[in-house]
Amino acid sequence: MKSIFQPYDATREQIDQRVRDILSTEPDRDHLPLIKRQLVEFLDLTTLEGSDTRQRIVQLCEKALRMRDETLDRLSVAAVCVYSPFVTVARNTLADSGIKVACATGGFPSGQLPLPLKCQEIRYALDQGADEIDTVISRGKLLEGNENEVYDEIVAIRGICHGKVLKIILETGELATVQLIRKASELALMAGADFIKTSTGKIQPAATEQAVLIMLDAIKEFAQTTGKQAGIKPAGGIQQPDQAMRYYRLVRHIMGDAWLNPRLFRIGASRLADQLWNDLKARLE
């Protein structure tokens, strides 16, 4: 596997400074309502708990449907993300709504599963009707320096996700250096990821602005080199609109307005949806 990327020698201090510079100015307040509406459309409304039940999944899907139906222009989240046993429940509840069913699967969240079993679990989710797959890389293999194995696993998973959106989770909180986050991003992009995603939400730190900036740099170089567009998904710990707004501003600054759509920008969250929805409803009253 030969890299198509140029060497990336940014330091942690340089990344921190770039984040500060990009976020140093406040957005025009007149545009905030429009941005918050966009943020709703970028959401993967998520529940990934061991205590999940069919009833909880139905309630989550019904929340997504209510958010759509209570707006004049049918404002909608991008997807509902669940574990594989609940894909059919979500698909049936969301039927014909246009809201996608995403599934966290394939050894999620640890990634510590043999590749044949990862693929089997992913096939199960697809057979149940998942539109999108969120799956995590084998961080242990990356930390051991087995980059080719990480790449080959993603290629194999890409091969079974025919026509489906594939989001590759890097779990950046377990990648301690700028170079590791960058390398994981490069491997996922070259192997065919439609999105690269920060985190499972199961460890701390989860999404960080610094990790997202590094990932966006890789996505930008990938687009410039290959002409192919890949998306970004911050996930984990994003609960307030102001937090989501900061990721929005990073994406807009580095990638431009062309990336500000659900095909290329998602945010994995649950509580954030309530906050955004309450803000929007308050403006309608």
Q: What does each of the 285 residues of the chain score in pLDDT, given as a tens digit?
A: 789 999 999 999 999 999 999 999 877 777 888 898 899 999 999 999 999 999 999 999 999 999 887 765 678 999 999 999 999 999 999 999 999 999 999 999 999 999 999 999 999 999 999 999 999 999 999 999 999 999 999 999 999 999 999 999 999 999 999 999 999 999 999 999 999 999 999 999 999 999 999 999 999 999 999 999 999 999 999 999 999 999 999 999 999 999 999 999 999 998 898 888 887 776 655
Task: Quote the number of domains for the chain.
Answer: 1
Annotation marks residue 274 as catalytic = no
Let me know if residue 154 belongs to a domain: yes
Let me know if residue 118 belongs to a domain: yes
Maximum C-alpha span of the chain: 57
Let me know if residue 76 belongs to a domain: yes
Let me know if residue 3 belongs to a domain: no
What are the C-alpha distances in Å from 151 to residues 138, 148, 220, 230? 10, 5, 20, 16
| Residue 104, Cβ density class (10 Å: 0-12 exposed, 13-18 middle, ≥19 buried) | buried
Per-residue pLDDT at 1: 79
Annotation marks residue 167 as catalytic = no
Please identify which of the residues 100, 167, 183, 197 carries the catalytic annotation.
197
Q: 240-249: b or e for each residue (b if 16 or more CB lie within 10 Å)? A: ebebbbbbbb
Annotation marks residue 279 as catalytic = no
Per-residue pLDDT at 216: 98
Please identify which of the residues 44, 134, 194, 217 carries the catalytic annotation.
134
Please identify which of the residues 100, 118, 167, 233 carries the catalytic annotation.
233
Rounded to whole angstroms, how far apart are CA atoms 48 and 66? 21
Rounded to whole angstroms, how far apart are CA atoms 66 and 44? 15
Let me know if residue 91 belongs to a domain: yes
Let me know if residue 224 belongs to a domain: yes
User: What is the domain extent for residue 194?
Assistant: 12-19+29-284
Q: Say which DSSP state 16 is in.
A: H
Task: Report residue 168: phi and psi, to 5°.
Answer: -100, 120
Q: Which of 97, 162, 98, 161 is closest to 135 using CA atoms?
A: 161
Let me know if residue 201 belongs to a domain: yes
- CATH code of the domain in which 118 resides: 3.20.20.70
Quickly count helices (H) and strands (E) in the chain.
11, 8
